[in-house]
Structures are given as structure tokens and as C-alpha cells.
Amino acid sequence: MNLLSKLFVLVVLVIYIFGNVSSFVLVNKRLEFDIQKVDKTKDYGEHLIPKLPLVPIQYRDQEDLSKSLQLDIPSDSIPFSGSEFGIVVTIKLNNVTQTLLFDTGSTLVIVPEKRCKSCTEFKTQFYEKGVDTETLKCYSETCNNTKTLPILCGGIDKDICTFQITYSDGTKYICEMMNDYISILENKIPFVFGSIIADIGKQLPNSYGILGVGRPCPTCPPTISDNISKYFNIPNILGVRINENYQGKVTIGDPFINGNHEKLSYTPMDSKRSYGYYVNPTKIEITKISNRSLILDSQELALHYFLVDTGSSLTYFSPEIYDRTVRFIRYNCFIDFKCHNIYENCFLISVDRFQLFPTIRITFKDNVTLEIPPEVYFTKIINGVHCIGIMRGATPNKSIIGLSFMRNNYIIFDKENQRIGFVEKL
């Protein structure tokens, strides 16, 4: 993780989807989950983030001196601290409440088991096998057909389907594949999951298990949302509606659209990738910067693809897209005295001047556009200091739309029709 990435590991916005019986609501062909925001330990992550040397800065608006800002910064350094944010769901697994990260970028439920002696940093209860638990064997069809995981049969127990899973934050888990049930509206719904028996990676404070609801490979086990839609006979369509404060709803089934104020448009999933919620951009446009425009057309973006991933706090542009777009946005700081650049993509700027910055418009196939205004792509670091909340990805041509770009939107993951929808406010 580079220094600018660490600066953005700041805000603790953990969202709960309460999974007890009373919080699941079945409305016609839609199952709804309420979302609430919960703040966690404010100093989490400070040991990961180095101090950034800055100097006292004063910024004066050349047109309106009443908008001048004074930022008193110690001459030595400022400790930036905090944690990443995510969507956390609470489900009942074998009558034990599990708090798990809601992740459209992965497909399995991963929970820590009581046998895991190295799982010391988890902030959720540990799973225990019950009378309905089935430990899958290496020779089982489910184990053999799970093509997206490194299966480790022949390791700890030669007969048990064991696998290793690695996440971008450095965590690595050794898991055993299980069958069990979750309880929803007094119904027991079966699903396949991974039980963590060893944590061999980077152990981060406030760790959670994973509730993967992504698009599985053709031969992989169905996700928990797949099984829920099948059990209740509702459309296999997942929706995540998030407001600016990361509150809202998760839906399974028919999307809820306010017809008078919202328009839902779909773009097809990337046909070249058999799993994951990938979509293809056809144009990226940034305009109205001192009569300058930046447009990346379909020819330039022909090889590019975007993963829509609620498991990622931030948005990552591929190196090719990042270098051109972020540099162009950053240029806006240096004209007309709009702000004061203090470090890389971080600026001394007041919120009321965001309107002077441009909106990013990403157009996908079938002319579906996702608009990201500056109040979304800017992230507050400390009072008066904001940074562009877009990271430089490591993989050529691959970008990730994270939670930071999902605010004020309703994202629809339509597995039945292999498409992703974005809601436009009218």
C-alpha cells in the first residue's frame, strides 16, 4: 500500500445489515435488508500510517477574501489515522450470529472457526459445527468443481476439501469447505462456505469474515444470495442502495425504483469473463476545466474492464486511466486559485468550492453512464484538507469501482440477465 493509499484508510464506516428474524422483510418478489452506519475505534490503523510532513499553510480566495482559510499544521508532522470502511452483514449460521463483510468481489462465505488458534483479531463470533454441518471431502463434486480457489487436498487432512484464500489487504486464510444452513424468516437455507482453521497472513485489527455474493464461475457452488432467491422463488437480482452516509438497503429480487424520480439503465456484464461483476467502459469524460476537456474514447478503452466490488473501500483506476484522469483533475487546482496543492492529490480546499471541479462520467456499453461528482470523488482527510479518492491500480486495463463511487446510487447485479444496472436520478 503506497502512502496516498494509507492516507485514505481513514474513516470507519461499518454498515450492518441485521440478519435476525425480525429484520428480513419479504415484499412481493423482493427480500429487503436495512442498513445502518456504526462508527468503530477511531485510532484503528494509526500504526500502519506514517506521519506526513507538512508546513503551515494559508489559502486566500483571490475573488472573495471572506472565504479565506487558515490551516494551522504543526511544522513537524500530522499523524493520519483511522480505518477502512465496508458493508458488514449479520447473519445467523448454526444459531450463531456472524458479522461478515458484504462483498460482491468474492463468492464464498468465509467465517472463523473455533479451532483457529491464530484467528485472534476477529470481531465476530466463532463458528462451531452443528448437527447439520457437513464437511466436504476432496473427492466431492463441489470441491472438484470449484475452479477459482487453490485447493490444498493432501495437506492437513487428505480427505477434507481444504483451500487457501488471499485478499488484497494481505490476509490469507486456510479454510475447510462446509455445508450448513442460515436462518431467514424461520426458514433454513443451505449453502456452501469456508471455515477458517488457520490465519497465515497479515493480521489486521477489527477483522471480519466474508459474505461473498459475487458472480461465481459456471461450475462453482452458488452464492448465498443465489440460494436465497431460489428458496423464496424470487428473481436472482441483488441490489445495493447507498446514500452519501453509506446507509440504505440491500435487496434480493425485483429492484425498487421510484419511477417519478429515478431511471434504471443496464449494461451487459463482460462476456469475456465467466465470473465476477465486470463491465466494459466505452467512454470516460471530464469537461469544463477552463474550456479544456478530457475524453477517453472507445478505441482507447477497448481492452479495459471495471469490476464492481463492494468489498473495496476505494475506487482504483487502471494505471493508464489513472495517469490521465487524475492528472487532469489535479490540474484544476492550479488555475483560478481554486485550491492549494499540499501533497500529491491532496489539497487545501473548502467544501463549498467543490462545485468548481468537474464531474467524472464513465459510460459503459449500451450507453449507460455513471456520474461521479467532486463531492463523491473527494475524500476529507482533516478539516480543510481533501484528497482525490481514486487510487492507482496495479493491473493494466483493470479498474475497480469501490464503495466510494457507489454513494448516492442504487447498483443492481442482475445475474439472471447477466447485466449490471445504475440508477440515474431525474
What does the domain layout of the chain look like in residue ranges? 3-42+84-239, 257-425
Instruction: Give the rounded percent of residues in the chain with a pLDDT score beyond 90.
Output: 29
Highest mean predicted confidence (pLDDT) among 180-189, 250-259, 317-326:
317-326
Span of 13-27, 144-158, 222-236, 327-341 with lowest mean pLDDT: 13-27
Confidence (pTM): 0.82
Q: Which of 200-209, 274-283, 332-341 has the lowest mean pLDDT?
A: 332-341
Instruction: Give the residue among 277, 81, 309 at the shortest CA–CA distance from 210.
Output: 309
Average pLDDT over residues 121-138: 85
CB 57 within 8 A of CB 71: yes
Asked if CATH classification 2.40.70.10 holds for the domain at 3-42+84-239, the reply, yes or no, is yes
At which residue does the C-alpha cell 464513465 appear? 362
Contact 365, 267 (CB under 8 A): yes
In this prediction, residue 361 carries a pLDDT of 95
pLDDT at 381 over 80: no
Output the pLDDT for position 154.
63
First-to-final CA distance of the chain:
39
Q: Do domains 3-42+84-239 and 257-425 have the same CATH topology?
A: yes
Q: What is the mean pLDDT of residues 246-265?
A: 85
**Sign of CA pseudo-dihedral 144, 145, 146, 149:** positive
Q: Is the pLDDT of residue 291 over 50?
A: yes
pLDDT digits (tens, 9 = 90+) for 219-228: 899 999 999 9
CATH 2.60.40.10 for domain 257-425, yes or no, is no
